[in-house]
Amino acid sequence: DGGITQSPKYLFRKEGQNVTLSCEQNLNHDAMYWYRQDPGQGLRLIYYSQIVNDFQKGDIAEGYSVSREKKESFPLTVTSAQKNPTAFYLCASSIQVRLSYGYTFGSGTRLTVV
């Protein structure tokens, strides 16, 4: 079955450490996205990539980094520069030329800084 997989589901990090969240899709989608969701809040765009080896900052990119070396994979690194990293992180993908089909989302990773 095609889909988008985020791992791990729960992640704990000590303050000052970098951590990488995995996102893999086998839908052959061109574009991939990372969103942050805080409790009771909407979705805020961190980074997005429309093609391999290219990505753009979203609305809240500070303290985060990404790479897009393969079409299937779009990992997100939460760096120690991110002041308040505890949140629910969602990865999504889409067919670039048919955005009217919307995004397919992963099931999310809940990151907690301890």
Partner 1 sequence: GQQLNQSPQSMFIQEGEDVSMNCTSSSIFNTWLWYKQDPGEGPVLLIALYKAGELTSNGRLTAQFGITRKDSFLNISASIPSDVGIYFCAGQLTGGGNKLTFGTGTQLKVEL
What residues make contact with partner 1 under the rule CB under 8 A? 6, 31, 33, 40-45, 48, 50, 58-59, 88, 90, 92, 94, 96, 99-108, 110
CB 60 to partner 1: min, Å: 9
Cβ closest to partner 1, residue 30 vs residue 80: 30
Cβ contact 54:66 at 8 Å: no
Cβ contact 113:11 at 8 Å: no
**Residues whose CB is less than 8 angstroms from the CB of residue 76 and which lie 6 or more positions away in sequence, other chains included:** 20, 21, 23, 34, 46, 47, 64, 65, 66, 89, 91
Cβ contact 68:47 at 8 Å: no
Cβ closest to partner 1, residue 33 vs residue 64: 33
CB 10 to partner 1: min, Å: 10
* Rounded Cα distance, 39 and 98, in Å: 31
CB 37 to partner 1: min, Å: 8
CB 78 to partner 1: min, Å: 18
Cβ closest to partner 1, residue 85 vs residue 106: 106
Cβ closest to partner 1, residue 65 vs residue 105: 105
Q: Are strands 104-105 and 31-37 parallel, antiparallel or unpaired?
A: unpaired
